[in-house]
Structure formats: structure tokens, C-alpha cells
């Protein structure tokens, strides 16, 4: 009924879910580039289509609303908020009373800039498991936000320019929201600014920020994507302190590998406990895991689920 090879293909239909190669028509879960290719036409939330057009190129798109079913090739598709980044969606596919839920990337913990997750039940679940090992248990989000504010304030008090490093879509805007709500002024890398403008178009406000101008950064926090750290924008700052934001910061060596002064585990994915809770709440008869550690399926089996990693050329069914 469903086929897996460089994405999820609905048998008997031209529709793919998060195809990893360019196809004629694809339902795209969110705007991160590892989930977005240059398809001829996409189905997605309006926000994701905006990100897609900015990052991948102008593409024909059909905007789907959360919770509103859409009929295609005999299937019924319904998007539900995934809590990952703004506009991110889980995809529920229904046909002949069989329900398949594709999670995309998701987060059970409410972030500062994404719609809170809503979790439907399903017969079959295909779920990401990025942090699918018991080691990955994130501290309370408020604690991490407090650590970020403390880092920034201590940097300013010492006379240094705080440089906050986060991926251009999602993480950087989370940082902007946290810092802007605390009253700080920000100078933002161009790639982050383009996407922040889309956030603001859809109602997310960041406070006092401007696109980076080398002559106007005094008294501001510099927010950049990882690729900008080795550019003149950052290197020219003689007195700076750097902080990298990522769930992988749980590893103590992240700070040294990234060459930063601090690394904080601010994540837009669920941790191990969140992944397990998600599976419990969906309550499927069958689970396939993807985008993470294959051994997460073992933990799910121990919890009583029929679970296995999703492998290339796999035919998906309940049995």
C-alpha cells in the first residue's frame, strides 16, 4: 500500500511524502532543506510553501490548512501541527479505513515560534527518531532559555559582543524570539533575516532587530547560522563570545568541536522520552522509525510496540 525509497510513495498515486529526490508532486512536512527538494509541485502549509520558495526556488504549491482534509488520488490527507518549526506538519493519510501517520520532524515541548503539536491516532506510524537513545534527555526548556539569557548578559557586562549561532531556519528565530522578548537588540545574518521576515508575515514578532550592518552592531547581539562563523562578519570582532544552540550540545565535546565559548541544548526535536511519549499517544498497531538511530525500534518493542526501522524498498503495511 505504501512504498519507501528515497521518501514515502503512496502506491497507486503520484504523491510522495518528503521525497529525497525531485518528483512531480510531494507533500512536504516542513521547510528544512533535508526535507525539501526541487519538486514540480508541493502540498504543504502556506508557511512551508513560503520557506520553500525562498530557500529552494519558486515552486507551484497547494496550501493545506491544519486539520482540514484534502482529497487526492483516493487518499484523504490531513495536516497536524508538529511543533518543530513554524508551519511544520505531521501528515495523516487515510484510505479504506486505514490510517497512516507520517510524523516528519516534531517536538512535544512548546517552542517560542512554532505551533504547538497536535497528535492524532493512527494504525501505522512512520516517525523520526533523531534523539532516539536514552542519553538524549533535554533539560527543562526554561532552564536552557535562562542559560542563554545569562550568557548574553555576562558577555555584554564583560564588554564582549555576544554571537549566538543557530541554524538559519527555526533555531535562529527561536533565539531571536527569546532574546527579543527579553528586550535585547539584535543584528541578524542575511539568511536568517530573510526567513525572519516570513515569520513576521505570519504573526511572530521578534522585538528590536535589524539585518546585519558591520557599522551598526555596537550594543547588539549578533545572530548567525553555523556557516557564517568562519566569515569576516564574525572574525572581524576582536572581542566576542560565541554560543552554539543545538540538541547535540548535550555532548560535552560539542563546545570544543565547534570552537565556541558555550553550547546549549536548545532543540526543536523531541528527546528520547518525548519520542516514547509520542508513540504512546499515537497508539499505532505498527511503527516504522526513520531519520535517527535504528536501535530506537528496540526500545519501542520493549514497550510493547510492533516496531522496526524503515528501510529502502520497504513495502509498508500493518503485517
Whether the Cβ atoms of residue 42 and residue 26 lie closer than 8 Å to each other? yes
- Give helix 171-181 / helix 141-157 axis angle, nearest 10°: 70
Q: Does domain 2-135+269-316 have CATH number 3.60.15.10?
A: yes
Whether the Cβ atoms of residue 28 and residue 43 lie closer than 8 Å to each other? yes
Residue with cell 568562519: 230
Domain with CATH 3.40.50.10890 in the chain: 141-264
CA distances from 138 to 103, 242, 244, 257, 295 (A): 20, 21, 15, 20, 19
CA 202 remoteness from chain centre: 17
pLDDT digits (tens, 9 = 90+) for 37-68: 899 999 999 999 999 999 999 999 999 999 99
pLDDT digits (tens, 9 = 90+) for 234-261: 999 999 999 999 999 999 999 999 999 9
* Backbone angles phi and psi of 104, in degrees to 5: 55, -160
Whether the Cβ atoms of residue 226 and residue 109 lie closer than 8 Å to each other? no
Indicate the class that CATH gives domain 141-264: alpha beta
pLDDT digits (tens, 9 = 90+) for 136-153: 999 999 999 999 999 999
pLDDT at 318 over 50: no
In this prediction, residues 182-191 reach a mean pLDDT of: 98
pLDDT at 313 over 60: no
For residue 168, what is its C-alpha cell? 538559519
pLDDT at 315 over 80: no
**Cα Rg, the chain, nearest whole Å:** 20
What is the pLDDT confidence band of residue 35, given thresholds at 50, 70 and 90?
confident
Domain with CATH 3.60.15.10 in the chain: 2-135+269-316
CA distances from 268 to 7, 30, 85, 139 (A): 22, 12, 7, 13
Amino acid at each position: 500500500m505504501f512504498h519507501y525509497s528515497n521518501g514515502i510513495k503512496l502506491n497507486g498515486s503520484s504523491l510522495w511524502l518528503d521525497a529525497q529526490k525531485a518528483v512531480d508532486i510531494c507533500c512536504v512536512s516542513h521547510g528544512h532543506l533535508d526535507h525539501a527538494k526541487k519538486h514540480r509541485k508541493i502540498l504543504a502549509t502556506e508557511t512551508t510553501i513560503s520557506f520553500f520558495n525562498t530557500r529552494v526556488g519558486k515552486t507551484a504549491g497547494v496550501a493545506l490548512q491544519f486539520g482540514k482534509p484534502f482529497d487526492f488520488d483516493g487518499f484523504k490527507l490531513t495536516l497536524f501541527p508538529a511543533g518543530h518549526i513554524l508551519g511544520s506538519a505531521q501528515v495523516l493519510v487515510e484510505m479504506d479505513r486505514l490510517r497512516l501517520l507520517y510524523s516528519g520532524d516534531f517536538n512535544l515541548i512548546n517552542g517560542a515560534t512554532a505551533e504547538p503539536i497536535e497528535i492524532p491516532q493512527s494504525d501505522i506510524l512512520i516517525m523520526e527518531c533523531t534523539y532516539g537513545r536514552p542519553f538524549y534527555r533535554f533539560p527543562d526548556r526554561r532552564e536552557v532559555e535562562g542559560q542563554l539569557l545569562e550568557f548574553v548578559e555576562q558577555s555584554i557586562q564583560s564588554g564582549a559582543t555576544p554571537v549566538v549561532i543557530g541554524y538559519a531556519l527555526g533555531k535562529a528565530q527561536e533565539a531571536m524570539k527569546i532574546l527579543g522578548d527579553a528586550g535585547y537588540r539584535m543584528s541578524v545574518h542575511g539568511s536568517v533575516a530573510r526567513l525572519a521576515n516570513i515569520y513576521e508575515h505570519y504573526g511572530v514578532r521578534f522585538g528590536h532587530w535589524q539585518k546585519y550592518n558591520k557599522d551598526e552592531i555596537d550594543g547588539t547581539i549578533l545572530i548567525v547560522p553555523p556557516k557564517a562563523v568562519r566569515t569576516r562578519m564574525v572574525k572581524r570582532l576582536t572581542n566576542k563570545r560565541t554560543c552554539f544552540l543545538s540538541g547535540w550540545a548535550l555532548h560535552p565535546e560539542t563546545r570544543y568541536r565547534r570552537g565556541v565559548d558555550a553550547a546549549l541544548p536548545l532543540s526543536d526535536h523531541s528527546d528520547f522520552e518525548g519520542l516514547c511519549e509520542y508513540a504512546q499517544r499515537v497508539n499505532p498497531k505498527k511503527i516504522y522509525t526513520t531519520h535517527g538511530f535504528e536501535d530506537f525500534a528496540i526500545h519501542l518493542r520493549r514497550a510493547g510496540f510492533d516496531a522496526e526501522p524503515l528501510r529502502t524498498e520497504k513495502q509498508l503495511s500493518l503485517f
